[in-house]
Chain A
Amino acid sequence: MNSVGEACTELKREYDQCFNRWFAESFLKGERAADPCGQLFRRYQLCVQKAIKEKDIPIEGLEFMGPSKGKAEGSS
């Protein structure tokens, strides 16, 4: 899958590979080890956040999990 920033697709792939490995082998098994992908993530984010600003994509200021739908779920 491509990145919204054409130049970021390669950085995204590298990060995704690292993340997927950590996710499956560490996170889901309940290991508390912090993910080793921090640097890759930062490089990828620098690129993609710039592309997002350039394309004027309105992702700012939106509450996590969107407007609450009035359910009791909350943050369980």
Chain B
Amino acid sequence: MPAPIRLRELIRTIRTARTQAEEREMIQKESAAIRSSFREEDNTYRCRNVAKLLYMHMLGYPAHFGQLECLKLIASQKFTDKRIGYLGAMLLLDERQDVHLLMTNCIKNDLNHSTQYVQGLALCTLGCMGSSEMCRDLAGEVEKLLKTSNSYLRKKAALCAVHVIRKVPELMEMFLPATKNLLSEKNHGVLHTSVVLLTEMCERSPDMLSHFRKLVPQLVRILKNLIMSGYSPEHDVSGISDPFLQVRILRLLRILGKGDDDSSEAMNDILAQVATNTETSKNVGNAILYETVLTIMDIKSESGLRVLAINILGRFLLNNDKNIRYVALTSLLKTVQTDHNAVQRHRSTIVDCLKDLDVSIKRRAMELSFALVNGNNIRGMMKELLYFLDSCDPEFKADCASGIFLAAEKYAPSKRWHIDTIMRVLTTAGSYVRDDCVPNLIQLITNSVEMHAYTVQRLYKALLDDISQQPFVQVSSWCIGEYGDLLVSGQCEEEDPIQVTEDEVLDVLEGLLASNLSSPVTRGYALTAVMKLSTRLSSVNRIKKVVSIYGSSIDVELQQRAVEYNALFKKYDHMRCALLERMPIMEKAAANGPTETVQTNGEAEPAGLEPKHPPTIIQPANQANDLLDLLGGNDVVPVISTAPAMKPASAGGELLDLLGGLSLSAPTPAPPIPMSQPPFLLDGLSSQPLFNDIATGIPPMTAYNKNGLKIDFTFERSNTNPNIAIITIHAANSTEAEMTNFVFQAAVPKTFQLQLLSPSSSIIPALNQGPVTQVIKVLNPQKQQLRMRIKLTYNHKGSPVQDLAEVNNFPPQSWQ
């Protein structure tokens, strides 16, 4: 049998293969030869064969049949065999295979071998790939070698111990005694590996950490010697003495100094020294400075030192070397929370990094920029960030958009600026905006009451250009639905109003409904917007037609909405205006949004807005409950127009709360009127208000009498709950013209709770023919004096009328 081909020969041959197929053929031939050689238990050439196998394995071919052969090589007495054997074991075996355990005995023997290089092989293999079982078995041997005076073995044993501890943390205690004088070694290899071992132990165990704190002075001394000592050729790298050791010591100091005043104090000087004396012209010096900065930031260093650290990072940012800039940005990101002002000083350099070509640098610069935005620099920063948003890769756009929204919300200098910024983001990156941003944006827009006309106009104009970006389209259609009347009436103050007809608006919305580009969610928004416009525009017939078309849509969601809206037109028309009323200003529930209140929307809210809040919030909520109540849940339940629009994600829940969805958890809005608690009240009530005998003797009263509209209150007490007073309002119209779209709203002080049921009609006929009635239930657990503020809106003789009044003359019996 001829000798198996030599390793280099094989490599040469395989490299001549011109195609993958040719190579595969050669490999297969050789594999077969090797396999038969293994079968013959040939000792002489086993080493060569395994080496060839390892080469083939590197090319990606199977080599598992050589695993046992590696073990045989390890067990051999020849050094070459052992060398290749251990290499093969490290490459071919892993702890998943039981075969590897067979190594344990060999390794144990070799750890006690007379030749240190054999011991070294064993330590290396164990430290690289030893499984937990192997580590458990051999930890004792490793510990022994950790105490040897042979530095060649000692350094390997230290790293082997690190591996053992990682695999079997419980064994850590065992190595403690051996660590006693590790640091008194002169040999740098041992010092380095010892520091690694100490680091590992301190990271894993707080007890070890406190135990090793006493080493701080020694570590400081070693570091000092390294810096102060002259040129040492053996450990010199570009003029710096043993940078690897310096970095490891700095890292250990970081762990020891963290949270500990004394240790931090002890290392202050040396850190300052390293920070100021290290050469920065080469990467190696910067590596040390980097580690120093990380240490300074983590321990309890004095402020002067911290400033020094930040300045080093600032200098890094200006370095030509990209790697240094990258590292600086990463570190600054970590420190920006704690040393905000210091980092601010480098803001312009950071913003410049947004324009860097490297993706990682750009990402870090972006994150850091967001962290640095504050009330003072918001305008400038936003300009840069918007520019970045325009030109960055798609992978950044979603994060950037979210970041911009957050920053704008926190620091917007004016409402107009805020709206403009939102719109800029929507139009440039509108399809990357996160879905959960849509409700947030809508909430922001509703809050900026005086900007409604401007907002809807700008959104409309942008929508004409591009309807492909879904989040943008959703926000726009919601706004058009809400503020379409403002759009058509051309009331914009902030910029030149555009001429838009009702038909054009409806064209746009219908276009969205029909377009292939619109997602189902977007279509839902569009349909609801169309429906809302039925109370704001006069083209009701057209809207009715649109709604009925979609009553047979394939999309179930759309179909349901259309059918319900249709029902609204047909059977519940009297409720339609109340239902589709302008949305109230939504407060962000504390749970959802940032806990700090939205600040610095510089312009003060016009005072006149205040009183309007209370009634508006109550009304829709109560409508919902009552409707569900009265209609008993079957039939078509008219859905509140705004609820579906809030479907996407988080803020939706909060809005449903406001509108009295099925479960009210009542985030209390700023205005002092609490939401009624339907479960509570509903408990005591059936679908019809309970009427007691009027003989309980609470006299009726006139609450309001003006301009021909007279509103009387009659009272009853609830049978089931004596704290509830049931007030029925009777609204009568003594003028010759009827009052249409009549809406009655009421608000009560904080200690009360109010529930409004739906009115009998929204039209008060003229000349006192048939009053409109509506039931109010008031819960008064604290028996306080009942006071009420009411708001009335209606159309009379073609013009809208609105009035507010206080009702204070409640008879005592109604609330005692």
Do chains A and B interact in one complex?
Answer: no
